[in-house]
């Protein structure tokens, strides 16, 4: 992967060792999970594990979890948008930290805070849960509390599927410049703290594709087995795509951003992906990020619609400014802390295509015994 770049071209070092977990962590992740994990692990009580597994992998249950995760992502984006871009957070030497990479380079401030956060969370079982993925998996420390044993919901290959390096690249090169204003307000700690929250939330949402893939595999095991044995990645992708769901919306996915992910696979297969989800997150962003005190008239729950080609980042103040399709005052007198279209495009161009990438990677290894 090419070196990451901060918004103004300063090099950013990718976090080391994101690709896979060490053997000990893999074994632990396969055998344990926290009761807080979001595939209703709290329902998997001793004595009722087998009967509840089908519920944990039901598409309805997974869908509800994905909807809740939308809220976490949107609120985190709104919080980060109140601070300037603060490029020093992402530059080598921009903020001096007492940590160095194996090659002797100093971590960026974001990498340092993210790694330190994972160190703490790793001790209390966060990364023994199959729906959590560390950006520094080789650095996770031993647990300080006993693990909780649960049945293995995902196939053993699950521990090998980790695309956090791609999520980091997307965040630094695309999303961060769109949700923040250029400048330096010296709120490095606050900015990096919300960066970490966003990165963790995006990682959880995108890697949830493993559960979607497993549920769909169990629904059509013969069909997927044939595709896996033929190593037919495009066929798997086509089968995963719910055409009936796609037809519920006219939104067309911009697949040009996916060419670097699929290494020759047809990006066009991502067209039309679940437009109703994109519309839902757009409306949520408008609702959660609206300044109600600025409304000139009666409350209106329908946000103004914008062209997907519109520039995304918010207006210029901590409140994000007004949002409209022509750059003028917002429709209905509303202003937003973050433009709803920014969140819609995040899902359309990145979250949903990257989730499909996770699903395909998982299924291509689904029949492996280890």
Q: What per-residue confidence (pLDDT) applies to 238?
A: 94
Q: What per-residue confidence (pLDDT) applies to 332?
A: 53
Which DSSP letter does residue 267 get?
G
Q: What per-residue confidence (pLDDT) applies to 36?
A: 38
Q: Report the run of H or E that residue 79 belongs to, with start and end.
A: helix 59-81
How do the pLDDT tens digits run along the chain, 370 residues long?
444 444 444 444 444 444 444 434 444 444 333 333 344 443 444 444 444 455 667 778 888 999 999 999 999 999 999 999 999 999 999 999 999 999 999 999 999 999 999 999 999 999 999 899 999 999 999 999 999 886 789 999 999 999 999 999 999 999 999 999 999 999 999 999 999 999 999 999 999 999 999 999 999 999 999 999 999 999 999 999 854 344 343 333 333 333 333 433 333 333 344 688 999 999 999 999 887 776 555 545 454 443 333 333 333 333 344 443 333 334 455 688 999 999 999 999 999 999 999 999 999 999 998 6
Q: Are 86 and 7 in contact (CB under 8 A)?
A: no
Calculate the CA dihedral of residues 96, 99, 104, 105 and round it to 10 degrees. Answer: -40
- What tens digit of pLDDT does each residue of 177-222 get? 999 999 999 999 999 999 999 999 999 999 999 999 999 999 999 9
Give how far the C-alpha of residue 50 lies from the chain's centroid of Cα atoms, to the nearest Å.
29
∠ CA 66-69-75 to the nearest 5 degrees?
150
d(CA 261, CA 258): 5
């Amino acid at each position: 992967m090419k070196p990451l770049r901060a918004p103004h071209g300063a090099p950013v070092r990718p976090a080391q060792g994101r690709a896979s977990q060490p053997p000990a962590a893999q074994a632990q992740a396969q055998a344990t999970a926290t009761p807080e994990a979001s595939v209703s692990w709290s329902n998997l009580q001793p004595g009722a594990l087998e009967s509840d597994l089908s519920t944990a992998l039901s598409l309805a249950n997974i869908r509800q979890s994905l909807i809740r995760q939308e809220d976490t992502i949107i609120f985190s984006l709104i919080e980060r948008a109140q601070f300037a871009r603060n490029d020093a957070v992402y530059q080598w030497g921009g903020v001096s930290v007492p940590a160095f990479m194996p090659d002797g380079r100093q971590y960026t401030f974001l990498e340092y805070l993210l790694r330190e956060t994972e160190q703490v969370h790793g001790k209390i079982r966060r990364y023994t849960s199959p729906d959590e993925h560390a950006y520094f998996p080789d650095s996770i420390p031993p647990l300080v509390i006993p693990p909780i044993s649960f049945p293995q919901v995902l196939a053993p290959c699950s521990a090998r599927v980790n695309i956090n390096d791609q999520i980091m690249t997307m965040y630094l090169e695309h999303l961060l410049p769109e949700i923040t204003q250029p400048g330096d307000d010296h709120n490095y700690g606050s900015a990096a703290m919300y960066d970490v929250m966003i990165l963790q939330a995006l990682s959880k949402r995108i890697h949830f594709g493993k559960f979607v893939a497993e549920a769909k595999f169990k629904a059509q095991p013969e069909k997927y087995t044939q595709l896996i044995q033929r190593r037919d990645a495009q066929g798997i992708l086509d089968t995963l795509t719910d055409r009936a769901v796609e037809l519920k919306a006219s939104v067309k996915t911009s697949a040009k951003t996916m060419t670097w992910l699929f290494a020759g696979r047809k990006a066009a297969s991502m067209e039309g992906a679940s437009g109703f989800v994109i519309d839902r997150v757009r409306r949520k962003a408008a609702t959660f990020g609206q300044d109600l005190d600025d409304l000139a008239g009666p409350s209106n729950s329908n946000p103004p619609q914008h062209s997907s080609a519109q520039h995304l980042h918010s207006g210029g103040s901590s409140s994000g400014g007004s949002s409209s399709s022509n750059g003028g005052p917002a429709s209905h007198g509303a202003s937003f802390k973050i433009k709803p279209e920014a969140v819609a495009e995040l899902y359309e161009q990145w979250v949903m295509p990257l989730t499909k990438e996770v699903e395909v990677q998982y299924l291509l290894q689904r029949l492996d015994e280890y």
